[in-house]
Amino acid sequence: MRAFLSQSEALHLLARSPLVIAAALVALLAIAGAALAPLIAPSDPYDLASFSLVDGLRPPAFLEGGDTRFLLGTDDQGRDMVSAILYGARLSLVIGLGALAFAAILGIGLGLAAGWIGGRFDALVMRIADVQLALPAILTALLVDGIARGLLPSGARDEVRIPVLVAAIGLSLWVDFARTARASTLRAKNEDYVQAAIAMGVHPARILFVEILPNVLGPLVVIATVDLASAILLEATLSFLGVGLPADAPSLGTLIRIGMQFLLSGEWWILWLPTAFLVALVVAINVMGDFLREIFDPRLR
């Protein structure tokens, strides 16, 4: 049943694709940089007292007028761009991974249950999924964000901004997980080993998670990788539109929104550096997702 490649085959495939290796390196560096931001970043961009407007609008250190304290320059508030990007990426990744976990748990849970229970429940879940597919992800996210803004008192909004974003993005990504999990549950339900487990009186939850779920892990990992890139992009889009994170706790999208003001003014680093980082991160994750798909899907080889 398993369609995985052997380890050596996978390594062989990897060795033939320098692009994938490069992508893995980029993603690894970006993720490590984001994860270790508090240790390696020159300053803390969330600590308002740690930077000063006096240093505002400095170009990167290697250009004329640059300052060695600010390798990639500063923004209009005097915030070090290196630190802002690393912390921004950290926030983007936290939200991306959180949204992914939200989508995976919701989607896999619903998919397994729908496939197992069948009947009306299955029909209901799948119709909801169809409706969800018809809605663009950005619209779902805006809707959730809008409802949360409406329901919450103005003082409470800031504390729940990240959970709201996670839920908003997660809700727009669960369908792929649910469909994949349901399809494999439907297929596996009639397999002998599952029938045997049923006959032995094993608890359905145990059958679902121990017998069926492992079979579908491969495709789910591929979906998760690609969706991580989507989640990061979606967060960036929401923050760019100004419904995401505020300017004093900037994610990559917020940094790009701030940088937009300097699109025509000559201070290119404020816009282009976070944008380049975001693009590199998302492309790298997508390339890895494609590679994983190749490994897990023998037909693509």
Beta strands, E only, the chain: none
Interface pick for other proteins out of 33, 37, 51, 223 (rule CB under 8 A): 51
For residue 4, the one-letter residue type is: F
Residue 246 contacts other proteins per CB under 8 A: yes
Shortest CB 268 distance to other proteins, Å: 12
Gap between the Cα atoms of 300 and 286, Å rounded: 16
Gap between the Cα atoms of 74 and 53, Å rounded: 10
What is the H or E stretch that residue 13 is in?
Answer: helix 7-15
Q: Tokens 């249950």 sit at which residue?
A: 113
Cβ distance to other proteins smaller for residue 42 or 118:
42
Cβ distance to other proteins smaller for residue 75 or 122:
75
Gap between the Cα atoms of 180 and 226, Å rounded: 14
Cβ distance to other proteins smaller for residue 9 or 158:
158
Cβ distance to other proteins smaller for residue 37 or 57:
57
- Give the contact letters, 250-279, x = binds to other proteins (CB under 8 A), - = no: ----------xxxxxxxx------------
Q: How many CB atoms lie within 10 A of CB 263?
A: 12
Q: How many residues bind other proteins (CB under 8 A)?
A: 26
Residue 49 contacts other proteins per CB under 8 A: yes
| CB burial readout 177-195, b (16+ within 10 A) else e | bbbbbbebbbebbeeeebe
Shortest CB 135 distance to other proteins, Å: 25
Residue 222 contacts other proteins per CB under 8 A: no
Q: Tokens 């400095």 sit at which residue?
A: 58
Strand partners, 273: none
- Is 80 strand, coil or helix? strand
Cβ distance to other proteins smaller for residue 45 or 219:
45
Interface pick for other proteins out of 3, 22, 25, 48 (rule CB under 8 A): 48
Shortest CB 144 distance to other proteins, Å: 20
What are the tokens at 165? 């974003």
Binding site residues, other proteins, CB under 8 A: 47-49, 51-54, 56-57, 76-78, 154-155, 158, 246-248, 260-267
